[in-house]
Structure 1
Amino acid sequence: MAYGWRWLRSLIFSIQIYLAMAVLGIVFLPWAAFSRRGAFMACKLYCRWVLWTARWMIGLRAEVRGEVPTDEVMIAAKHQSFLDILIIFHAVPAAKFIMKRELLWTPVIGQYAYRIGCVPVNRGKRGLAIKKMVEDVASGTQLPGQLVIYPQGTRVAPGVKTPYKAGTAALYNQLGQACVPAATNAGVFWPRRGIYRKPGLAVVEFLPPIAPGLDRERFMARLEGEVEAVSDQLMRESGFEPDGVR
């Protein structure tokens, strides 16, 4: 009975956040079409709405730990669900994500992602996309902000081990910026698929920056080691045992 009630609440919550996305997307569209600030305002407001309604509708709270990056850095984040995207975007001043190019054609999400400066990447052609992005940054045409990349390339369910991709190291070396690792346990409460959302405390933790200048092997080893260790710790804190997943 309790599970059925929580599932129903999760369904209502899921419906209303997509309705809110459509409403805010339409209301802010005239401003967002001509102003990046308008696009950011719409997206920030949407994040606040989802995090607020999650708290009282399904008992899911969000928390940010560590020092939130505010300057020009690359954020290399663990990605488990849509929730960790919302938490990061809400926390940092001007996040822009490396994302799948197909998302540009998604109603509302695609248009606003383009306006805030997200970088679309073709599957199988990540190297070309990274090269183009580095060229844009060097020429001063890339919009300022905190560039968010997912080193594993996609959402990864809690406890599942997926290798970190070399494109993150290429970007780190070519941009010459500090990299801020970010860990999360968001997928424990908000899964990749399905309706059901669990109550609890979802955390995104920003870890100490990795200064520019490390070689590829040392950078990747440090990034993966730190993000996975802290993510596992956060999952255990929430009652999920990552080592039990096969």
Structure 2
Amino acid sequence: MGYAFQWLRSLIFTAQAYAMMVPMAVVFLPWAMVSRKGAWAAVHAWTSWVRWTASWMIGLKSEIRGPIPEGEVMIAAKHQSFFDIILICNVLPRPKFIMKKQLVWAPILGWYALRIGCVPVDRGRRGAAIKAMVEQVNSGKLEPGQLIIFPQGTRVAPGVKQDYKVGVAVLYQELGAPVVPAACNVGVFWPRHAVYRKPGLAVVEFGPPIEPGMPLRDFLGRVEQVVEERSDALMAEAGFPQIGR
């Protein structure tokens, strides 16, 4: 009975969260059309709404740990579900993503993503995607802000091991900017492909920045070590049994 009630609460929460995108997008649209500040304000307003409603509708609290990155940095983040994107976007001043090209056509989401400076790439063509990302950097077309990239290339469920891709290391070299590792445990509470949301404390944790200049292989190993170890620790804190590590 308890599971069924939480499932129903989760369904209502998810429906209202997505539905709220529409009025917020409309309210912020005039400002967003004339200034990117309006687009970022819309992102911050909607993500704040989701965090607030999650806390009392489904009992899912959320917390950010570590210094919040500002200025020109890249965030190398663990990606377990949509909720880690929501938390990261909520606290970064000017978030932008390397995102899969298909999302450009998503209603509302696609336009606002482009407006805040997200970079669409064809994720299915690995070499071409890396080349496109590097070209965007070298051309100076990237908007100032915090560039978020998921080194594993996709959402990875808790307890599943997935290789870190070389694209994050190439961008590290090309950008010449600090990279902040970001760990999380959100997949324990908000699964990738399910309606059910588990109550608890979802955490995103920003680690110390990795300064430019490391050899690419050393950098990739360092990012993986920090993100995976801290994510495992956060998931253990949330009561998730560690598997395969």
Question: The TM-score by the shorter chain falls in which range?
Answer: over 0.9
1:20 paired residue number: 20
2:120 paired residue number: 120
CA deviations 1:116-135 (Å, max 9, x no partner) are: 00010112334444444444
Map 1:129-140; keep pairs closer than 5 Å: 129-140=129-140
1:83 paired residue number: 83
Task: Report if the CA contact (8 A) 1:133-1:142 is conserved.
Answer: no
| Aligned counterparts of 2:15 and 2:67: Cα–Cα separation in 1 | 33
CA deviations 1:128-181 (Å, max 9, x no partner) are: 444444444444332100000000000000110000000111110111111100
1:227 paired residue number: 227
| Aligned counterparts of 2:244 and 2:174: Cα–Cα separation in 1 | 38
- Which residue identity does 2:173 align to in structure 1? N
- Alignment partner of 1:48 is 2:48: yes
Mark the runs of 5 or more structure 2 residues left unpaired by the alignment. Answer: none
Q: What TM-score do you get using the length of structure 1 for normalisation?
A: 0.95
Identity, % of aligned pairs?
60
TM-aligned CA deviation for residue 194 of structure 1: 1.2
Map 1:98-109; keep pairs closer than 5 Å: 98-109=98-109
TM-aligned CA deviation for residue 4 of structure 1: 1.1
TM-aligned CA deviation for residue 34 of structure 1: 2.5
- Which residue identity does 1:123 align to in structure 2? R
CA deviations 1:191-236 (Å, max 9, x no partner) are: 1011100000000000111111111111111110111010000000
SS at match of 1:243: coil
| Aligned counterparts of 1:161 and 1:135: Cα–Cα separation in 2 | 30
Task: Report if the CA contact (8 A) 1:182-1:204 is conserved.
Answer: yes
1:210 paired residue number: 210
CA deviations 1:60-114 (Å, max 9, x no partner) are: 0110011111121110000000000011011111110110000000011101000
1:111 paired residue number: 111
Map 1:185-196; keep pairs closer than 5 Å: 185-196=185-196
- Report how many residues are paired: 245
- Which residue identity does 1:205 align to in structure 2? E
Task: Report if the CA contact (8 A) 1:78-1:183 is conserved.
Answer: yes
1:96 paired residue number: 96
- Which residue identity does 2:233 align to in structure 1? Q
- Which residue identity does 1:26 align to in structure 2? V
TM-aligned CA deviation for residue 244 of structure 1: 6.2
RMSD, matched Cα? 1.5
TM-aligned CA deviation for residue 35 of structure 1: 1.7
Name the stretch that deviates more: 130-139 or 106-115.
130-139
- Which residue identity does 2:70 align to in structure 1? T
- Alignment partner of 1:73 is 2:101: no
Mark the runs of 5 or more structure 1 residues left unpaired by the alignment. Answer: none
| Aligned counterparts of 2:92 and 2:30: Cα–Cα separation in 1 | 24
TM-aligned CA deviation for residue 24 of structure 1: 1.1
| Aligned counterparts of 1:105 and 1:133: Cα–Cα separation in 2 | 19
TM-aligned CA deviation for residue 22 of structure 1: 1.6
CA deviations 1:39-66 (Å, max 9, x no partner) are: 1111110000000000010110110011
Task: Report if the CA contact (8 A) 1:81-1:155 is conserved.
Answer: yes
- Which residue identity does 2:154 align to in structure 1? T
| Aligned counterparts of 1:121 and 1:137: Cα–Cα separation in 2 | 13
Name the stretch that deviates more: 19-28 or 83-92.
19-28
| Aligned counterparts of 2:136 and 2:238: Cα–Cα separation in 1 | 41
| Aligned counterparts of 1:8 and 1:122: Cα–Cα separation in 2 | 36
| Aligned counterparts of 1:244 and 1:146: Cα–Cα separation in 2 | 32
| Aligned counterparts of 1:124 and 1:12: Cα–Cα separation in 2 | 34
